[in-house]
Amino acid sequence: MNDAIGRGTPSPADDATDAAAAGFAVQNGHMRAIRAGVAGGPEVLEWVEVPDPLPGPGELLVRLHAAGVNFIDTYQRGGIYPMPFPHVPGSEGSGVVVSGTDGFSPGDRVAWAQAPGSYAELVVVPAARALRVPDTVELDTAAALPLQGLTAHYLLRSTFPVGEGTTMLITGGAGGVGHLAIQIAKALGATVLATVGTAAKTGPALEAGADHVLVLDRMSDVVADLPAAVRTLVPGGVDVSYDGVGRDTFDATLACIRPRGLQVLFGGASGQVPPFDLQRLNAAGSLFVTRPTLAHHLATREELDWRAGELFGMLDAGTLHVEIGLRAPLSAARAAHEALEARATTGKVILVA
């Protein structure tokens, strides 16, 4: 793991210190946060002082321990997804409750995947979306798990439920979602083929349990070479392809699927997939394509608790490991975005307050 600030991973024993710091921040009335003033590249991210947020009914005020960095943050910062400007980016993190409600009390350790404005020392988190962090889970791990872990869970347990005998392809096998998805898929009994961008990223995908790793930059023509390589390993094609890279790999991964198989487009790390002719699905073998999103797979508190419970259970059992590839201070969000968009990271990127 790249520890960008030379600070050891905190333990639950540090929570009292965090809570005290949170109290000071509230009394002071102002906090530090990252702000995107206008739509643009990473250079629009500024480290500024802003007023402390005020929780409303059903909301927690949480002292941030660490924020998770995700591609959706870059889409919102860049204006691909409509957002008001200025805004504080981020929606994922972990921390300690300062003021609680709905069964949460000050000092409770929580994590979340859906709380806008998470690149800040204090975050307002909807109590209905807060996850209780078990004492056995460190807050660094808790910050790195929710969005990518819950995404991997719904992809493999709901979008296309994998199991014994399933053959699947996933892009970005060394990335945050890919690394977790490989582990979950192997625990469920699937055969996993993973792509990585460079040979240097082969190791993390293999360590996660991938049966085969295909290196894209070794291919002269990805659209032709990837399907050929996949079909050599799995004659007839895979049951399901999970593509989080998007524009650069979509045509290639679509060609890797067996007749009546499923293409799951869950991200666009290389850019958004342009419109395409649906007749291609007919010609390729009556294929299915879907573009799911996490929010629709956390429809109720019960569904959230089920998904999070399975993830935390796998952590406790040792069948799931969260790889934190870059750990930087919150003030270094610009550099973290640059590294993520350059695909220079493996595992999860977190920003520590």
Q: Which tens digit of pLDDT belongs to each residue from 184-213?
A: 999 999 999 999 999 999 999 999 999 999
**Beta strands at 93-99 and 109-112: parallel, antiparallel or unpaired:** antiparallel
For residue 165, what pLDDT is reported? 96
Asked whether residue 184 falls in the same domain as residue 119, the answer is: no
- How many domains would you assign to the chain? 2
For residue 343, what pLDDT is reported? 82
For residue 335, what pLDDT is reported? 97
Confirm if 127 and 153 have CB atoms less than 8 A apart: no
Asked whether residue 66 falls in the same domain as residue 187, the answer is: no
Determine, yes or no, domain membership for 170.
Answer: yes
Gap between the Cα atoms of 119 and 352, Å rounded:
9
Per-residue pLDDT band at 269 (split at 50, 70, 90): confident
For residue 1, what pLDDT is reported? 45
Q: Which residue has the higher pLDDT, 246 or 11?
A: 246
Here the CATH number for the domain that contains residue 30 is 3.90.180.10
Range of the domain at 246: 148-295
Gap between the Cα atoms of 120 and 330, Å rounded:
8
Asked whether residue 198 falls in the same domain as residue 73, the answer is: no
**Beta strands at 257-265 and 288-290: parallel, antiparallel or unpaired:** parallel
Q: Read off the pLDDT of each residue in 309-324 and give the average, rounded to a whole number.
A: 94
Determine, yes or no, domain membership for 38.
Answer: yes
For the cut 70, the answer to whether the pLDDT of residue 20 exceeds it is no
Per-residue pLDDT band at 23 (split at 50, 70, 90): very low
**24-38, 98-112, 133-147, 222-236: which has the minimum mean pLDDT?**
24-38
Gap between the Cα atoms of 82 and 71, Å rounded:
15
Determine, yes or no, domain membership for 305.
Answer: no
For the cut 90, the answer to whether the pLDDT of residue 242 exceeds it is yes
Computed over every residue of the chain, the mean pLDDT equals 91
For residue 26, what pLDDT is reported? 42
The DSSP string of 266-290 is: ---TT-PPPP--THHHHHTTS-EEE
For the cut 60, the answer to whether the pLDDT of residue 246 exceeds it is yes
Please measure the distance between the N-terminal and C-terminal CA atoms of the chain and give it in whole angstroms: 18
For residue 14, what pLDDT is reported? 39
Residues contacting 24, CB < 8 A, separation 6+? none
Distances (CA, A) of 126 to 32, 97, 118, 234, 339: 21, 12, 12, 45, 30
Asked whether residue 153 falls in the same domain as residue 133, the answer is: no
Asked whether residue 134 falls in the same domain as residue 165, the answer is: no
Asked whether residue 45 falls in the same domain as residue 178, the answer is: no
Q: Read off the pLDDT of each residue in 106-135 and give the average, rounded to a whole number.
A: 97
Peptide bond connecting 86 to the previous residue in cis, omega within 30 degrees of 0 = yes
Q: Read off the pLDDT of each residue in 101-115 and give the average, rounded to a whole number.
A: 96
Per-residue pLDDT band at 15 (split at 50, 70, 90): very low
Determine, yes or no, domain membership for 307.
Answer: no
Asked whether residue 173 falls in the same domain as residue 121, the answer is: no
**272-276, 289-293, 303-307, 344-348: which has the minimum mean pLDDT?**
344-348
Determine, yes or no, domain membership for 132.
Answer: yes
For residue 188, what pLDDT is reported? 97
